[in-house]
Amino acid sequence: MSTATKPSLKIPEARARAYDVESLRAQFPILSRTVHGKPLVYLDNANTTQKPRVVIDADRRYYEEENANIHRGTHWLSEKATEAYEGGRAKVARFLGAASPKEIVFTRGTTEAINLVASSFSQAFLKAGDEILITGLEHHSNIVPWQLACERTGARLVVVPITDDGEVPVDEFEKRLTPRTKLAAVSHVSNALGTINPVKQFIALAHARNVPVLVDGAQAAPHLPIDVTDLDCDFYAVSAHKMYGPTGIGALYGREEWLEKLPPYQGGGDMIASVTFEKTTYNVLPWKFEAGTANIAGGIGFGVAVDWLSGVGLPAVAEHEHELLVDATGKLSVIPGLTIVGRAKEKAAVISFVLENVHPHDIGTILDREGIAIRTGQHCAQPVMDRFGIPATARASFGLYNTREEVDALVAGLAKVSEMFG
Amino acid sequence: MTDLRDLYQEVILDHNKSPHNYREMADASRIALGHNPLCGDKMKLYVRIEGDRIADVAFQGSGCAISKASASIMTDTIKGKTLAEAEALYGKFHDLVTGPPDVKADGAGLGKLAVFSGVREFPARVKCATLPWHTLEMALKSANEVAKTE
């Protein structure tokens, strides 16, 4: 395990200014705190990211200065709140490269976005004998909604197997596109292994057979420049909290023609145009899919987060994180007994690993005492663990504010683990 | 500040390295499967009951040091005990590991099981220590041969 993975990312040579990680860190209040008396080393970014001051301030400002319900008031505050919330939607649309804000449905997160499509799509278009295609890399949130849809309709879930390196081969994906395939749902970046899937190729192959594609972008959007128009995907799901934004808010990008075709997901206020006991007509996009009072502060904060992230610059973020990935991969690979699980050629800055004779949970506890936060367990991807015949892994995942010094802290922490269990 | 050694005592590390009663049991009268879906720990517990006594008990599976050592010491402790005695030990053990972290644990009457007194200071690890006991309870209470717990 001594060869470092060297994923290649296409990054523009020239950048406007040098990447200043210290000034970025200074914008995250939590990064200056200590845990168990040690400086916090936060390497659990695939789980959730920390929030910059601007996002925290936006939340407080909304409640202190503009709080009112949206889309319903004739008063000034309601207009301000509506403007800010819809402004958030426009920012997310721009960030993802959507043609229009009406292609952005606010959800509680990626999970709800996928459930929305699985529920509405299966209701309208899925029948017994049809197939939904997913990959062996998926998070439970891109498996279970489709299993539920299959149970309701009699359709079948087809899974593209992954390789020993944790990649989804394009030809294996293509092989499983059949005349019965009604939709493909694939992750852009694997949360468990970090693999970057060739989703653009998947989409082209699926579209050649008129199969729509949903991309689970939860792990990609914080790390890579995303352009749904360029990808040509039909649906793209993201969570704000993994993108330096608030929890409890996310977005579903849906191609307009698809969102028009899908029936509503939940019924209630705001998603209707007119209601009588005989017949209800639905609101226009995107509000057709947003029943009830929304997470208004969340939508506003999400907008602030993506604007902030764009300001930092995704190409620069990708380059910085890639440097950390190469550094950490090299340093972890030479630790005796350590095996990195998932060695795809194209990887985001996620390192899943196991240590001989030490359970990941024990690694997690010992690192925690050093102030180092990682995730341990199955990462909501039990089939991925089963594929590699392991019960769990330890996972270090990097964000735009992590440093090489923190990679070294991780290495030093792992030495303490080996010392205790040696 | 709590010390890591409160959790990872030498006895626990030893049992993790060489767990006792780690084997399959061909003539088990009860088998239960314990599973912690959060961390992926899986445990298969075999119990042979004779009358109202636990004549033999063994386990297999994968888990962290805490859950493995807990299973190892639990099986050592309850072998030969009556069902009522085992049940009473479970209650005491549960109190030991789930008690308030700021109150010093009282390991009286727990014998070797008292080495888990540090667990209460690590709330994320309580379930690791109790998994074998939950699995035992399932095995003892189940009329079926194979019981499952999550």
Q: Tens digits of per-residue pLDDT, A265-293?
A: 999 988 889 999 999 999 999 999 999 99
Q: In this predicted structure, what is the pLDDT of residue B3?
A: 83
Sheet of strand B41-50, all strands in order from the earlier edge strand to the far edge: B53-62, B41-50, B30-36, B146-149
CB contact under 8 A, A365 and B7: yes
Q: Tens digits of per-residue pLDDT, A134-188?
A: 999 999 999 999 999 999 999 999 999 999 999 999 999 999 999 999 999 999 9
Q: What CATH code would you report for A56-311? A: 3.40.640.10
Name which of A297, A414, A276, A302 is nearest A62 in CA terms: A297
pLDDT at position B145 over 60: no
CB contact under 8 A, A361 and B37: no
What is the span of the domain harbouring residue B40?
4-149
Set of chain A residues whose Cβ sits within 8 Å of the Cβ of B125:
361, 365
Output the CA torsion sign for A245, A249, A253, A256: negative
Partner residue facing B42 (CB), from A357, A377, A391: A391
Across the range A111-129, mean pLDDT stands at: 98
CB contact under 8 A, A391 and B13: no
Across the range B15-26, mean pLDDT stands at: 96
CB contact under 8 A, A359 and B125: no
State the CATH number of the domain containing residue B140: 3.90.1010.10
Q: In this predicted structure, what is the pLDDT of residue A212?
A: 98
| A418 in reach of chain B (CB within 8 A) | no
Per-residue confidence at B150, pLDDT binned at 50, 70, 90? low
Quick count: other Cβ atoms within 10 Å of Cβ A227? 14
Q: In this predicted structure, what is the pLDDT of residue A16?
A: 47
| A140 in reach of chain B (CB within 8 A) | no
CB contact under 8 A, B128 and A421: no
pLDDT at position A11 over 70: no
Q: What CATH code would you report for A21-32+313-421? A: 3.90.1150.10
SS3 B49: strand
Q: In this predicted structure, what is the pLDDT of residue A298?
A: 98
Residue A13 exposed, middle or buried by CB count within 10 Å (0-12, 13-18, 19+): exposed
Beta strands in A108-155 (DSSP E): 131-135
% pLDDT > 90, chain A: 91
pTM: 0.92
Cα distance between residue B114 and residue B104, in whole Å: 12
> Which of A359, A367, A374, A379 to mutate to test binding with chain B, by most B CBs within 10 Å of its CB?
A359
Across the range B110-124, mean pLDDT stands at: 92
> Which of A47, A144, A361 to mutate to test binding with chain B, by most B CBs within 10 Å of its CB?
A361
Please say if A233 is a catalytic residue: no
CB contact under 8 A, A365 and B122: yes
Output the CA torsion sign for B123, B61, B72, B45: positive
Count the domains in chain B: 1
Q: Which of these ranges, A28-42, A307-321, B37-51, B59-73, has the smallest mean pLDDT?
A: B37-51
Distance in Å, alpha carbon of B123 to nearest chain A alpha carbon: 11
Domain ranges of chain A: 21-32+313-421, 56-311
Q: In this predicted structure, what is the pLDDT of residue B146?
A: 60
pLDDT at position B143 over 70: no
Distance of CA A378 to the CA centre of its chain: 17
Q: In this predicted structure, what is the pLDDT of residue A17?
A: 57
| A37 in reach of chain B (CB within 8 A) | yes
Per-residue confidence at B1, pLDDT binned at 50, 70, 90? very low
Q: In this predicted structure, what is the pLDDT of residue B147?
A: 61
Mean of the per-residue pLDDT values of chain A: 94
CB contact under 8 A, A365 and B125: yes
Cα distance between residue A385 and residue A379, in whole Å: 9
Inter-chain CB pairs, A–B, below 8 Å: 56
Cα distance between residue B93 and residue B133, in whole Å: 9
- Let me know: does A255 contact A249? Beta carbons within 8 Å: no
Residues of B with CB under 8 A from a CB of A: 1, 4, 7-8, 13, 16-17, 37-42, 62-66, 68, 122, 124-125, 128
Q: Tens digits of per-residue pLDDT, A53-78?
A: 999 999 999 999 999 999 877 899 99
C-alpha torsion B10→B13→B14→B15, nearest 10: 120
Which of these is catalytic: A380, A392, A409, A417?
Answer: A380
Q: What is the DSSP string of A163-219?
A: -TTS---HHHHHHT--TTEEEEEEESB-TTT-BBP-HHHHHHHHHTTT--EEEE-TT
CB contact under 8 A, A37 and B1: yes
Question: For residues B137 and B143, which has the higher predicted lDDT (pLDDT)?
Answer: B137
Q: In this predicted structure, what is the pLDDT of residue A6?
A: 46
Q: Tens digits of per-residue pLDDT, B24-53?
A: 999 999 999 999 877 778 999 999 999 999
Set of chain A residues whose Cβ sits within 8 Å of the Cβ of B39:
359-361, 376-378, 391-392
Set of chain B residues whose Cβ sits within 8 Å of the Cβ of A359:
39, 62-65, 68
Output the CA torsion sign for B43, B44, B46, B52: positive
